[in-house]
Structure 1
Amino acid sequence: MSSNPLRHALSRMGGRDPHEQHRAATPLELFFDLTFVIAFGVAGSQLAHEVAEGKFVPGLLGFSFAMFAVIWAWINFTWFASAYDTDDWIFRVVTMVQIVGVLILTMGIEPMFHSLVEGEHVENRVMVAGYVLMRLALVAQWLRAARQDPARRETCLRYAKYLAIVQVGWIALLLVETDVATTFMLTIPLVVLEMATPYAAERKSRTPWHAHHIAERYGLLAIIALGECMIGAIETLRAIVATNGWSMDAALVGFGSTALAFGMWWVYFMLPAGRALHVRRHRSYLFGYGHIPIFAAIAAAGAGLHVAAYYINHEAHVDAAVVIASIAIPVAVFKTALTWLYSVMMKSADKTILAVTAGVLVLLAASIGMAAAGVPVTLCLLLIVLALAGSVAVDELRASGRIHAALEKLEAEATAPRPR
């Protein structure tokens, strides 16, 4: 190793300390995350376009496929980096290859959506090629870790082997051109195998990931996904101003769209995820996988705001109820998934949080009903914001204390000596 701390010379990939103090996201990880801004944006824009055209099934299929590919690849890189990030030149170069894979995958999202609309076959070759490139780069990382971390050699080799096998399946899928239904039926077992890989690989020994680092990384991706909501807010506001100029409606939509993103941010960060994951490390799979619908729902809410922009510009072929549903349903998925995740990480379901979630779902359903009854879209959007605001208020006044007490209890149980 070099004595120059600024030089990124080769370092042994022997595994990081899972209890390392002041562990934070690196500039390379932040740069890696930026590529996902583009992927979320493209997938959200395509979903918004298809929903505005009334093509719900191809829109949702395409969005689900794109979100899984993007989020799952991010999850795998994040957990590996938490355990084995050396920040030497090899790690950086291989990460650059993964970034190239993300960009290639992103380029394939729009053609994939178009092929689903046409309905003859799924044009997923570019997407899958980018995905496989990312995954093979990760295989190389696991092989390096296997060579340089003897204590976890078998775990790393299992990761490399299982990932490589699944990528053969994805490549085989590229060679088969079938109808849409058959393609997705062939995709399901590959998705199951992808998600089973971490569990199968770590069944005997675990990689040394850092709980607080993982929680920070997930929080950062949530913020990136919320950026898609802000883009949707700007698009909606621009549509109103371009059509009617600055008005009360413009002010209400500008406030409502921004408050929607801010409310989702506030609700997400209510749980001190780092502390919870640190004492509940055995729930890491549920924590990691449970974020997939959360991230996708945040991006979909941004897409819903894009649909509102199409509607206001008279470019949508759907009614107001569909417009509000395209925002309210993702928010409902977000809140429900987050409540489930809180319950899993806190070991039990808090009655206050469950009651608040139920109340939020009722208000979200009411917003759709109001739109169907002819209430202006702007007022329906404000009701969605009000639902989140009510959740934040109860969280701050009541749930926060209960969460803190529950965490302290879990931490005390974790540190208490066990009877012999």
Structure 2
Amino acid sequence: MGTMTEHTSTGAGHGRAVMPIIRMRARSRDENHRASTPLELFFDLCFVVAAAQAGVQLVHAVAEGHYVDGIAGYMFVFFALWWAWVNFTWFASAYDTDDVPYRIATFVQICGVLVFAAGIPDAFDGTDRTTAIVGYLIMRIALTCQWLRAASGESGAARTTALQYAAGLVIVQAGWIVLLLMPASAWIPGFFVLMIAELAVPAIAERNHQTPWHPQHIAERYGLFTIIMLGETIAAATIAVQSGIRDFDAADLLIPIAVGGVLIVFSALWIYFAVPIHEYLADQGNRAVLLWGYGHYFVFGSAAAIGAGIEVAVEEAVGEAHISTFAASAAVTIPAAMFLIFVWLMHSRHFKRDRIEQAVLPVAAILVLACTFAGHWAVPLAGLVAAGTVGVGVGLSTRSKS
């Protein structure tokens, strides 16, 4: 059990035997068929719990007309979720050994996710952020131990990078503890300072040596998380159908919302996966890759917010939301437009061949926003715009190839 052996790459990880303890060394970027492991998929699913909690709180806040507080709370909660997921994903792409210590450390991070999720309702409205921050610290402490373990198995520049990651994590987490002890008035400026510090850790740690993440693996991991976030919209559309069945008088409003929501999520999925992003990532330097990875905060956040917006639209249609039809429509169209814009900005534009192709997603985002003024037909019209965007994109792609 205590024998230390060198780590050797054996492919995707699905068929690898789990060794008790092996020396943690960086995996090769040239591995064939590198795919997500069952442990990574399980890790993602645990984030669904926390993302759903954030969505529920956003729905309640917007439905009651507390727009600013709701959006601010959602941004804080989602940043913590997204950043913990991002750090785990990139570390796993470079150092996944899938042995006993690695699995235990991952399970500890999952426990942190669950604690964080339990604290989301209080953290969202600012009444008590203690539970959420404790959960976040659990996730980060486990990751710090992973980086220290990586440092013990590396040498030279790779070892320095791992140690800088660990040191950066410790410093920033100490900052969160200090912020928790400070007066409530310090929360907003302190949050933004620590958010910048969190984002700076990878840039500083990797300025002289880049960890050997795998382009295809990272592209798949981000794609899978996008699917999970879009899944919230499918759940919201289901709620619309159920409400229509129970409240027959509102069915003429709820069924179109459900159809529009489904069209939006189907189109979003199609648009996101229309490009082989791993080819772009493989050819880019560290700065461009960091920008792509960081920019997905808005991709993931807007994808999840679409589902929350659908639920708000449903509540307004049945008279349970204390907001106008325009505001309820905007709860869907704004995140849908944001998704289109940020997928284009961070993802799709790198593969567009001319100005016409480049204009498709930005124009579609504008048209989706214009649907906000269509009253109760805003969501189905936005869905038709999204579906039409896919059709135009497919047509232009065919034109380019012919």
Same fold (TM over 0.5): yes
1:395 corresponds to: 393
Matches within 5 A, 1:317-356: 317-342=322-347, 345-346=350-351, 350-356=354-360
Q: Give the structure-2-normalised TM-score.
A: 0.92
Q: Helix, strand or coil for the counterpart of 1:12?
A: coil
After superposition, the Cα gap between the structure-2 partners of 1:280 and 1:344, relative to the gap in structure 1 and judged at 3 Å, is farther
After superposition, the Cα gap between the structure-2 partners of 1:188 and 1:103, relative to the gap in structure 1 and judged at 3 Å, is same
1:127 corresponds to: 132
Where does the alignment leave 5 or more consecutive residues of structure 1 unmatched?
Answer: 116-121, 372-376, 406-420
After superposition, the Cα gap between the structure-2 partners of 1:39 and 1:92, relative to the gap in structure 1 and judged at 3 Å, is same
1:409 corresponds to: none
Matches within 5 A, 1:42-121: 42-115=53-126
Is 1:240–2:244 an aligned residue pair?
A: yes
User: Is this contact kept in 2: 1:236–1:306, CA < 8 A?
Assistant: yes
Matches within 5 A, 1:17-416: 17-115=28-126, 122-151=127-156, 152-179=158-185, 182-244=186-248, 247-282=251-286, 283-342=288-347, 345-346=350-351, 350-371=354-375, 377=376, 379-399=377-397
Distance 2:162 2:32 in 1: 25
Q: Helix, strand or coil for the counterpart of 2:190?
A: helix
Query: Alpha-carbon deviation of 1:76?
Result: 0.4
User: Is this contact kept in 2: 1:240–1:309, CA < 8 A?
Assistant: no
After superposition, the Cα gap between the structure-2 partners of 1:259 and 1:169, relative to the gap in structure 1 and judged at 3 Å, is same
Distance 2:323 2:388 in 1: 29
The size of the alignment, in residue pairs, is: 389
Structure 1 counterpart of 2:189, one-letter code: M
Note the aligned Cα RMSD (angstroms): 2.2
Aligned-pair identity (%): 39
Query: Alpha-carbon deviation of 1:253?
Result: 3.0
Q: Give the structure-1-normalised TM-score.
A: 0.88
Query: Alpha-carbon deviation of 1:258?
Result: 1.5
Distance 1:194 1:344 in 2: 27
User: Is this contact kept in 1: 2:267–2:387, CA < 8 A?
Assistant: yes
Distance 1:48 1:354 in 2: 33
Q: Helix, strand or coil for the counterpart of 2:184?
A: coil
User: Is this contact kept in 1: 2:151–2:162, CA < 8 A?
Assistant: yes
Structure 2 counterpart of 1:390, one-letter code: G
Distance 2:341 2:145 in 1: 37
After superposition, the Cα gap between the structure-2 partners of 1:290 and 1:21, relative to the gap in structure 1 and judged at 3 Å, is same
Distance 1:293 1:21 in 2: 30
* Partner of residue 27 from structure 2, selected from 16, 20, 32: 16
Where does the alignment leave 5 or more consecutive residues of structure 2 unmatched?
Answer: 6-14
